[in-house]
Chain A
Amino acid sequence: MAQYLILIYESEEAYLGATPEVRQDISAAHTRFAEQIPTLGATMLGGNALQPTATATSVRVDIVTDGPFVETKEALGGYYLIEATDLDQALAVAKLCPARFGGVEVRPIWDLAAG
């Protein structure tokens, strides 16, 4: 088994501008997603939604600046940590991950103990 981080990148503008109904819909979709993961043979180890990039603070060496590290049209808005047998299984999970205002990126966790 290996671990993968599913990073959710979405347009913050679209996300923050969504109606309460749409928000509720999104929330329900994430609940459903969490239920679907085990049916694919994978395991969810954790996950969180992040506050918008307007709340981000970046630190480089000892200089503190207001804002995200990189300004992008679609910003990191949440993540899931999953365990899967291989990339194909991780991608199958990623395909189900809700991200209607953007998409997701799948990154294998670097198992430093394994070199």
Chain B
Amino acid sequence: MNNQFDDASRAVADAHEREWAFVLAATVRVAGDIDLAEECVQDAYVAALDAWRRNGVPHNPAAWLTTTARNRALDTHRRNAVLRRKLPQLVDPTEDAAPDVVRIEDNIDSIDSIEDDRLRLVFTCCHPAIGREAQVALTLRLICGLSTAEIAQAFLVPEPTMAARVTRAKKKISAARIPYRVPESAELPDRLDAVLTVVHLLFTTGHTSPAGAQLVRSDLVMRATSLARMLHALMPDEREVGGLLGLILLTDARRDTRVEFDGRLLLLEEQDRSRWNRELISEGSALVVQALSGGVAGRFAVQAAIAAVHAEAPSYVETDWSQLLGLYDTLLGIWPSPVVALNRCVALLMVHGPATALAQVDQLDASGRLAGYRYLPATRADLLRRLDRFADAATAYRQAIALADNEAERDFLLRRLAEVSQ
């Protein structure tokens, strides 16, 4: 009995982590409204805990949860037919006539009969009419099933602020009738780019936390990785999706070697490459090959290729820097971002030396396009240090320290400042 009790709790927690998006997305279709769907799905998880403890865990938990949540949505509509007529309809009822209550036992093993609507939900969360911050919050809330408190904690904002952001975005989806659908092929590249940007933003926020004592927020990294995996499974032919997943895996493969035991930040050249995760690297590299083949590569594919060159190099010095420089040129061509231009300077340093690289960094600095970006003075400082211009380097390190919010990064810069000040 006790065993069944534990099994049920574990199965519910597991289904929450794995199946939340599937269950919610399938329920929105019947509920016609995201808020109602969310409520019904939450109820279904609560009901599951009780039912599975008493009757055992069903063979197909996702199907059980979906059927239960959908039935609750149908119940709500039936109970309040008047309200039903009044609700702004997210999904046109003619598109998918609401079925009668489905008997769970009929549906329990037939998950195939429930259409996978996760992509619709993803594209709704990342609709361009919703601001980037809200897109990120909605994705964590609706696709990953995180609570508002968890999302607020992840982004270090007060819970009421995050709650207001989520509520406002959900209200806009319903009031402005943001459609619940996968964009048509003509608009797909732009819309997909927004989705990938949100997932990448989640990953980078986790990979190098912009503030606080921790360098890596593994919870966010894990969420971003599973989101990228889900998207890749749902859109195996979209090369940029494979590119993003590859980029995430190749970058995350270095996670354990980025900080010393004492929390000290280690640079790429100081990291113990034997401790990089080989499994992630080979999976990521295979994805890069796919993402680069056939036509002009996208920005995530090229970024992933850059990460792959680093991951496969036997050492920092033996890295194929001229190939990297070429990849950065390609990347700048398709994505003229000043951050990319700054990163390219590292390859420039390794191929043509610190003076050439410094000239480029100074040019970027003068353009003002990276004002307030902490890695610009940090890069400048490093190049000046290599050129033995220690006084100038110290000034640049001080500028970088003033901009650094992450403690591991600050400590690193302070150590460097001490070195050049001797």
Contact = CB atoms under 8 A, between A and B. Distances in A.
Given A2-B88, A114-B86, A115-B86, A108 B177 contact: yes
Task: Report, as a range, how many residues of chain B touch the other chain.
Answer: 10 to 19
B176 interface: yes
Interface of B: 86-88, 92, 127, 129, 175-179, 183
B178 A86 contact: yes
Given A87-B129, A91-B129, A114 B175 contact: no
A109 B177 CA distance: 11
A86 B177 contact: yes
B177 A114 contact: no
3 closest pairs, A vs B, by CB? A86-B179, A86-B177, A108-B176
B88 A111 contact: yes
Interface residues of A, number: 13
Contact of B88 (A85, A88, A91, A114): A114
A112 to B, nearest CB: 11
A107 to B, nearest CB: 8
A114 B179 contact: no
B80 to A, nearest CB: 12
Given A87-B178, A113-B86, 11 more contacts: A85-B92, A85-B177, A86-B177, A86-B178, A87-B127, A87-B176, A108-B177, A110-B175, A114-B86, A114-B88, A115-B86
A99 B229 CA distance: 42
Interface string A76-92: 00000000011110010
A14 to B, nearest CB: 27
A87 B87 contact: no
A87 B129 CA distance: 9
A87 B88 contact: no
B176 A88 contact: no
Nearest to A4: B176
A99 B87 CA distance: 34
Contacts of A91: 129
Contact of B177 (A2, A110, A113): A2
A72 to B, nearest CB: 21
Nearest to A84: B177
Contacts of A85: 92, 177, 179
A5 B117 CA distance: 31
A111 B176 CA distance: 11
Residue among A2, A86, A91, A115 facing the most chain B CB atoms (10 A cut-off) = A86
Contacts of B183: 88
A87 B179 contact: yes
